[in-house]
Amino acid sequence: MKIYVVSDNPNFHIGLGLAGVSGRYAYTPEEMGQVLDEISAGAGLIIVTSSLAAKCGDVLHEFRAKNPLPLVTIVPDI
């Protein structure tokens, strides 16, 4: 199982990167949809920051409805 982080916050991305978590940046709902499509095949868990989730809520809801896996969880920003 691979873990990914999707964030619009470079500090959060770097912090989890130091722990060995791969990640991608997304700043708009369109980018978020693209990133989710690209990483979902090999992921078991996708961590999304709360600020990005607030901007891309519809995209996340649609992705979760269509894909039971990977698990998508939202965590607070640092």
pLDDT, tens digit, 9 for 90 and up, residues 1-38: 899 999 998 888 888 889 999 989 999 999 999 999 99
AA identity, residue 14? I
How many domains does the chain contain in total?
A: 1
Residue 10 belongs to what H/E stretch?
A: helix 10-18
Question: How is residue 67 written in tokens?
Answer: 């894909």
- CATH number of 44's domain: 3.40.50.10580
Question: What's the predicted TM-score (pTM) here?
Answer: 0.90
Which residue's entry shows tokens 């090999």? 42
- Residue ranges making up the domain that contains 26: 2-75
Mean pLDDT taken over the chain: 91
- Note the pLDDT tens digit of each residue in 51-77: 999 999 899 999 999 988 999 999 998
**DSSP letter (8 states) at residue 27:** -
